[in-house]
């Protein structure tokens, strides 16, 4: 029996699979390897998954927005649990290409629900987002807060996912856990996110755009802490006992915040990157951007109680770890500037394996 992980070549999906393999699980990973950001980075993540732990990993290139392709790609695999990480990410890109979000995040989520229902999955853990809280001014964000006023299309799709999941838990008694992630960062992260963009610009001596004039606050959460929460949730399906669950459901459906339980001002976050890089940032202060929220801050009391979730990585620890990985991945050392990312440089015993796996 296997654990299915969607978005296997993505940032959090990759780290989740690595931890599952480390504890001896058999994992089937699917990903369509789209070009939202450089595919080589995704291939390199897959290459890193060779020879980890005592488990086994099978990668299948598939698009879960196509229900027939999803079924065909998983034929022959006995899936008992699912971690649904695949999605179209990014708040601002949702303003440019809303149809991609509707297909991947809404239709794709529905397809995974249908698949889980028909194979009789024991538990489906899916990714939601702190963005569902919209412009909520009550801090910290609690899962009981209203989430029906999204300020981005991305957030609207994630709220839709939670509603679809609630209906499937009620109608078909499908055990599910939704996880609202708060600004995840760390090694192997995404090139469109602030830690990557800021680190690259600082090392190259280019200015960075600082939205909200640096006064925005984010609950930055290190990826290892997030994966701990994902696996803890996976191992604890909500009971179908009629009792109320975090998020308000009386069906077997719980919703948790996974954050660091600390809200850090963007200016301080940038200063931490400066220290790790050994260079000062050239800051271009800008107003709030459309779709952004000013502050995020996770109340993790439910996750701490039910999942034994206890994040322990501060940005003073996590950012140097990310910067060290960034320097190593791009092949330049301390004090040496990058000359642009461009095509990802070959590193990589694992890349050939990843290319074979997708065929």
Residues designated catalytic: 154
Pairwise CA distance, residues 187 & 263, whole Å? 21
The CA distance from 107 to 45, in Å, is 26
Structure tokens at 217: 């606050």
Calpha distance 279→283 (Å, rounded) = 12
Distance (Å, whole) CA 139 – CA 129: 16
Other CB atoms within 10 Å distance of the CB of residue 246? 22
Q: What is the DSSP string of 204-243?
A: HT-EEEEGGGGT-EE--EEHHHHHHHHHHHHTSPPP-SS-
- 179 CB-near residues (< 8 Å, 6+ apart): 125, 126, 127, 128, 229, 230, 233, 255, 256, 257, 258
């Amino acid at each position: 029996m296997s654990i299915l992980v969607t978005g296997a070549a993505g940032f959090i999906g990759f780290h989740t699979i690595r931890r599952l393999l480390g504890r001896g699980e058999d994992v089937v990973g699917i990903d369509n390897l789209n070009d939202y950001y450089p595919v080589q980075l995704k291939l390199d993540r897959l290459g890193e998954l060779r020879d980890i732990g005592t488990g086994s990993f099978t990668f299948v290139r598939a698009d879960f927005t196509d229900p027939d392709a999803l079924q065909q790609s998983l034929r022959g695999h006995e899936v008992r649990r699912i971690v649904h990480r695949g999605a179209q990410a990014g708040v601002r890109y949702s303003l440019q290409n809303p149809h991609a979000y509707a297909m991947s995040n809404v239709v794709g989520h529905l397809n995974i629900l249908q698949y889980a229902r028909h194979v009789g999955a024991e538990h489906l853990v899916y990714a939601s987002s702190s963005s569902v809280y919209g412009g909520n001014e009550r801090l910290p964000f609690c899962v009981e807060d209203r989430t029906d006023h999204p300020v981005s299309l991305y957030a609207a799709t994630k709220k839709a996912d939670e509603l679809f999941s609630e209906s499937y838990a009620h109608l078909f008694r499908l055990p599910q856990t939704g996880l609202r992630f708060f600004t995840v960062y760390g090694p192997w992260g995404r090139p469109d996110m602030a830690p990557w963009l800021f680190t690259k610009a600082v090392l190259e001596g280019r200015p960075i755009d600082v939205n909200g004039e640096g006064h925005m606050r984010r609950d930055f959460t290190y990826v290892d802490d997030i994966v701990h929460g994902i696996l803890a949730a996976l191992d604890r399906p909500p009971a179908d006992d009629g009792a109320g669950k975090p998020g308000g459901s009386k069906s077997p459906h719980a919703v948790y915040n996974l954050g660091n339980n600390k809200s850090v001002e963007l200016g301080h976050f940038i200063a931490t990157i400066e220290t790790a890089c050994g260079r000062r940032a050239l800051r271009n202060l800008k107003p709030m951007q459309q779709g952004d929220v000013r502050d995020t801050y996770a109340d993790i009391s439910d996750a701490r109680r039910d999942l034994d979730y206890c994040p322990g990585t501060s940005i003073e620890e996590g950012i140097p770890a990310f910067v060290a990985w960034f320097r190593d991945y791009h092949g330049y050392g301390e004090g040496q500037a990058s000359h642009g990312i461009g095509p990802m440089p070959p590193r990589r015993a694992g890349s050939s394996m990843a290319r074979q796996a997708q065929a």
